[in-house]
Structure 1
Amino acid sequence: MDTDTRLSRIRALAQTEGKVMATALAHDLGVAVQTIRRDLRQLCAAGLLERIHGGAVLPSGVSNIGYGDRRALNRDIKIRIARRAAQLIPDNASLFLNIGTTTEAVAHALHAHRNLMVVTNNLNVANILASNASCDVVVAGGSLRRSDGGLVGDLAALAIDRFKVDFAVIGASAIDLSGDLLDFDPEEVRVSQQVIKAARATILVADSTKFTRKAPVKIASLAQVDHFVTDRVPSEALINSCADWGTRVALVSGI
C-alpha cells in the first residue's frame, strides 16, 4: 500500500472513530508501526490530526469539526450511552435536551417513553421526538445556527429561564482532565448553563474521545453533574473526584 493510500485510510478511520492508534493501524494496514508513526507525524504536521500517546485524534482548538462528521464519530458508543441515559429518565418526567449528536441519540432512545415533556433548543431533537405522540415538545426560541439546527443566544436563554424540569440531558465538545466541561460557542454555553440551573438533576452524555479534545469556553464542572454516562473515564483520580462531588458515573461497554 502506497503512502497516499495509507494516509487517506488513516484520515477516514479518524473521521469515523475519533481517534486512531498506531499499533492497531499497523496491524490493519499491514505495515510496520514505525511507518504508521511517520504517517501520523505527517498528518499532524499538516494539521489534519493531533498526536496523543500511542496514536492521534481529530484536531480541536477554537473551532469545532463539522456536524456531519461529529454524527459519524463513535456512533455505536453514542447509541449505547444514549440508551443508558434513557434508563435514568422515567415516564411522566420533564426534561431538557440541548445541542449535540449524543443528545440527539438520547432523543431516539426515548421513543418508548410515555408522557414526557421535553424542552429543547435543538431542532433535530424536536423533529426526532415529533414521532412520539405521547411526548410534548417545547422548542426554546433563539437564533438558528444552521450548521447543526441549534437555537442559541439571549432569546433561548430567556425561554429556558421560564422552566424548572426534572432532568437536563447535556453534551459537551470537550472535557478537561480537571473535570471542566467545555465548548466552542459562548452563545451555546450560556444556554447550557441556564439549562443546568433550570433542572433538578443533570445528566452529562459524552464519549471518552471528549477527554482528548480541547475547547475554549467553560460550561460547568463535573461537580455540577448528577450523572455522567460515558464509555471510559481516563484516570482513577477523576473517578475519585466524581465520587467526592457526588457525580454518579455510569460506564457503557464499547464492545
Structure 2
Amino acid sequence: MAQTFRHPEIIEIARRDGRVTVDGLAQHFGVTLQTIRRDLTELAEAGKLDRVHGGAVLPSGTSNIGYEERRGLNHAGKIDIARACAALLPNDCSIFLNIGTTTEAVAAQLLGHENILVVTNNMNVANILAANPACQVNVTGGTLRRADGGLVGAITTDVIQQFKFDYAVIGCSALDKDGDLLDFDIREVGVSRSIIRQSRQVILVADHTKLQRNAPARITTLGDLDCFVTDRPISAELRAACVDWDTDVVIASTEF
C-alpha cells in the first residue's frame, strides 16, 4: 500500500483506539517496522500525531478536536461506558449531565428511566431526553458554544447553584496520569466545578483516550469524585490512588 494511502488509515486507527503502535501497524499493513516508523515521523512532523515510545497518539494542545470527530472517536467504548453509568442511576432521582459526547451517550441510555429530573447545559442531551416522557428536562441557559451545543458562562453557573442534585454525570477533555481532570475552555471549568459542588454523588465518564490526551485547564481531581466509569483498565498507580481516595472505578468493557 502506498504511503499516502496508509496515512489516513493510521490517523483513523489512532482516533478509534487512542494510540497506534509500530508493531501493530506493521502487522496491519504488512510492511516493515522501519516503514511504519517513517510514516509516524512524517505524520508527527505534519502535526497530525505525537510520537511516543513504541508508537504515536493523537496530538495534545490548547484547543479541542472538532465535535464530529469527538463523536466518532471510540464510539463503541462510549456506549459501554454509558450503559454502565446508566445502571448506577436509579429511577426517582435528580441528575445533572454536562457537556460531552460521552454524557450524550449516557442520556440515550436513560430513555427507559422513570420519574427522573435532568438538568443539563448540553443542548444535545436535552434533545435526546425529550423522547423520554417520564423525564423532566431543564436546560440551564448560558452562552451557546455553537461548536458542540454546550452552554457556558455565568448564567449557567447561577442556574446550577439553584439546585442540589442527587447525581452528576460529567466528562472531561483529558485525564492526567495523576488523576487531574482537564479541559480546554476555562468557562466550562467553572461550570464543572459548580456542578460538583451542587451534587451529592459525582460520576466521571471518560474513555481510555482521555488518558492519552492533555489540556491546559484543571477542573478537579478524581479524589473529589465518587466514581470513575471508563472502558479499559487504568494504570496500577492511578488505581491505587483511587483506592486511597475512596473513588470507585468501573471498567465498562466486557473485553477486559
**Fold match by TM threshold 0.5:** yes
**Deviating 4+ runs (over 4 angstroms):** none
* Match in the other structure for 1:252: 252
For normalisation by structure 1, the TM-score amounts to: 0.97
Conserved in 1, the CA contact under 8 Å of 2:227 and 2:247? yes
RMSD in angstroms over aligned alpha carbons?
Answer: 1.1
Task: Name which of structure 1's ranges 180-189 and 7-16 shifts more when overlaid on structure 2.
Answer: 7-16
TM-aligned CA deviation for residue 16 of structure 1: 3.4
Letter in 2 for 1:220: T
Aligned residue for 1:138?
138
Mapping of residues 54-203 of structure 1, within 5 Å: 54-203=54-203
SS in 1 for 2:95: strand
Give the number of aligned pairs: 255
Which residue of 1 is the match for residue 204 of structure 2?
204
- 1:60-104 alpha-carbon deviations (Å, 9 max, x no partner): 210000000000010000000000000100000100000000000
* Greater Cα offset, 38-47 or 120-129: 38-47
Deviation of the 1:233 alpha carbon: 4.2
Map 1:9-24 → 2, pairs under 5 A: 9-24=9-24
Distance (whole Å) between structure 2 residues aligned to residue 75 and residue 93 of structure 1: 27
Q: In the alignment, what sits opposite 1:223?
A: 223
Cα distance in structure 2, aligned partners of 1:219 and 1:89: 23
User: 146-155 or 235-244: which moved more?
Assistant: 235-244
* C-alpha displacement of 1:193: 0.5
Q: Which structure 1 segments of 5+ residues have no match?
A: none
Please tell me the residue identity of whatever aligns with 1:144.
L
Counterpart of 1:171 in structure 2: which amino acid?
G
Q: 1:254 to 1:173 in 2, by over 3 A?
A: farther
Q: CA deviation at 1:211?
A: 1.0
State the one-letter code of the partner of 2:181. Answer: L
Q: Is the 8 A contact 1:179 1:221 kept in 2?
A: yes
Q: Distance in 2 between matches of 1:122 and 1:31?
A: 44
Determine if contact 2:18/2:208 at 8 Å carries over to the other structure: no
TM (normalized to structure 2)?
0.97
- Segments of 5+ residues of structure 2 without an aligned counterpart are none
Moved more, 52-61 or 38-47: 52-61
Corresponding residue of 1:36: 36
* Contact kept? 2:95, 2:167, Cα under 8 Å: yes
Q: Alignment identity in percent?
A: 55
- 1:41 partner amino acid: T
Change (3 A) 1:209 1:254: farther
Q: What is the CA–CA distance in structure 2 between the aligned matches of 1:43 and 1:179, rounded to whole Å?
A: 29
8 Å contact from structure 1 (residues 77, 254) kept in 2: no
Amino acid at match of 1:251: I
Amino acid at match of 2:31: V
Shift in Å, 1:19:
2.2
Q: CA deviation at 1:254?
A: 6.0
Q: Distance in 1 between matches of 2:53 and 2:113?
A: 41
Q: SS of the residue aligned with 1:200?
A: strand
